[in-house]
Amino acid sequence: MELKELQLSHFRNYDQVKLDFQSGVNIFLGQNAQGKTNLLESIYVLALARSHRSNNDQDLIEWGQSKAKISGRVQNRLGTTPISLQFSRKGKQARVNHLDQSRLSSYIGQLNVILFAPEDLELVKGAPSVRRRFIDMEFGQMNVSYLSQVSQYRKVLKERNTYLKQIQAKKSSDMVFLDVLTEQLIQFGTQVIRARQHFIQKLGEIAQPIHAEISNQSEELSLIYQSNVPLVNVIEEVAAIEANFTQALQRQAKREIIQGTTLVGPHRDNFKILINQNDVSLYGSQGQQRTAALALKLAEIDLMQEETGEYPVLLLDDVLSELDASRQTHLLMAIQNKVQTFITTPTLSEVTRQLIEQPKIFEIKAGQVQVKESGHLY
C-alpha cells in the first residue's frame, strides 16, 4: 500500500499544497516549527480520521478559515483509490472514491499507517490507557470487525455507567434494565478481549526475533495481555471469557452501584512488555525501553501485512534523532525497499546518508514546500 498523492487545503499552516510521493523513502526536511510534522500529521489524519497530536479537530483548520480538507490517492494491490476528509465546525465528512461515507468505520482501513514518534516511548513506560489506545488504533486498521466491536462496547459502557450513576443517586431502580445493559456489555466486551488477545499474541511472536536481533541476541522480549476478567489461557474460548466476565461482574455488583461506574471489562485492561521476564516499564533502562518500542513498531509492519495482505505506510516523526547509530541502522535496514516511508528530520545523520537509497526530499520552510529531485544524500 502506498500514498501516491497528497493535497491539503487550509490544514494547519498549509494554505494550499499538492505533493506527489515515490514508493521508497520520502523525507520532510526542515527546522522546528516550519510545518514538517504538520505534513506528516496530515497523512496520519487522512488514514485514521483523527490526529495523534490533538483531540480537537478544530485545531487542524488553518487560522482564520472555516474548514480544512485533506485528499489523497492510495494505491494497493487492487488499484488506485481517491480518499478525502473535510473538517468544519459541523464535523467531518469522509469520502472514498468521491462517495460520502456515513460511518468512519467504513472509511478507516483505506490507508493503513504506522506512526513512530518520540512519544511512543510512552507505549512502553506510560499508563495502561496508552497501551489500550495503541491496540485499538493499530488493530482497528487491520480488522474492521474489531473497530465495530470496540465502538459498540464503548457505547454500552457509557450507557451502563450513566445508569449506574442514576441508581447510585436513587433516581432509578429498574434492575432489569441494568441486566440488559450488562448482557450487552459482556457480549461486546468478550469479543474485544478475545481480539486483543489475538493481536498481542501475534505481535509478540513477530516482535521477539526482531528484538533479539537489535539486542544482539542478549535479550528476550515477550508480551502478556492482562485482563481484569480472569483468564487462564493465552487465547481463551468465547464461552470461557463470557462465563468469567459474568462472574466478575456479579462479584462487583454492589461496589459498582456504590461507586456509580463499571469496574470490570476491557476498558481497564493492559498488556505487559517484558525483557528477560522483567517488566521493562519498571526495570528497563532507557535504552531497553527504546529498543522495545522500536521492535514493536517494526513488528507492526509485518503483522499488518499478515492481517490485511498489504504493507502499511510508515511515518517516522523525528525519531532518528532519538535513536543511537545502532538502532538507526536496524530501523533503516528493516524498512529499506519494504514499505513506503515518510521521515521528518531537521538534519540528515551520517547513518541516514549511508543507508537510504535515492530518497525524495521535500524541504519545508514556513509552510512552503520545495521538492528536490530523488538522489543520493552524499
pLDDT tens-digit map of 124-145: 999 999 999 999 988 988 888 9
d(CA 209, CA 299): 9
C-alpha cell at position 96 = 472514498
CA nearest to 317, candidates 113, 100, 48: 113
Question: Given pLDDT bands bounded at 50, 70 and 90, which one contains residue 378?
Answer: very low
Query: What average pLDDT is seen over the chain?
Result: 91
Q: Of 301, 371, 370, 309, whose CA–CA distance to 336 is shortest? A: 301
Residue-level pLDDT at 235: 66
What pLDDT was estimated at residue 234? Answer: 57
- Alpha carbons 367 and 72: distance in angstroms, whole number: 19
Q: Report the sign of the C-alpha dihedral through residues 205, 209, 214, 216, in that order.
A: positive
Helix (H, G, I), strand (E, B) or coil at 325: helix
d(CA 47, CA 367): 21
- Report how far residue 197's alpha carbon sits from residue 1's, in angstroms, rounded to the nearest whole number: 26
Q: For residue 365, give the 3-state DSSP assignment.
A: strand
What whole-number distance in Å separates Cα of residue 267 and Cα of residue 161?
12
Cβ-based neighbour number of residue 256 at 10 Å: 20
- Is 34 among the annotated ligand-binding positions? yes
98-122 in b/e form (b: 16+ CB < 10 A) is eeebeeebebbbbbbbbbbbebbbb
Would you say 49 is a known binding-site residue?
no
Tell me which of 230 and 165 has the higher pLDDT.
165
pLDDT by residue (tens digit) across 222-257?
999 999 998 766 566 889 999 999 999 999 999 999
C-alpha angle 110/371/71, rounded to 5°? 25
Instruction: Report yes or no: 306 and 339 within 8 Å, Cβ to Cβ.
Output: no
- Asked whether the CA dihedral 169, 174, 179, 184 is positive or negative, the reply is negative
- Rounded Cα gap, residues 259 and 32, in angstroms: 46
Cα separations in angstroms, 326 against 319, 329, 332: 13, 5, 10
CA 79 to the chain's CA centroid: 25
Q: Higher-confidence residue: 236 or 17?
A: 17
Q: How far apart are CA 270 and CA 135, in angstroms?
A: 10
37 is an annotated ligand-binding site residue = yes
Residue 15 to residue 367: CA distance in whole angstroms? 8
Is 168 annotated to bind a ligand? Reply is: no
**Helix then strand then coil, % of the chain, to nearest 5:** 45, 25, 30
To 5 degrees, how large is the angle CA 302–CA 303–CA 309? 80
In this prediction, residue 44 carries a pLDDT of 96
What per-residue confidence (pLDDT) applies to 102?
87
The residue with cell 529531485 is 373
Please give the radius of gyration of the chain, using alpha carbons only, rounded to the nearest integer: 22
99 pLDDT higher than 90: yes
The answer on whether 117 is annotated among ligand-binding residues is no
pLDDT score for 377: 47
28-63 confidence digits (pLDDT tens): 999 888 999 999 999 999 999 999 888 888 999 999
pTM of the model: 0.88
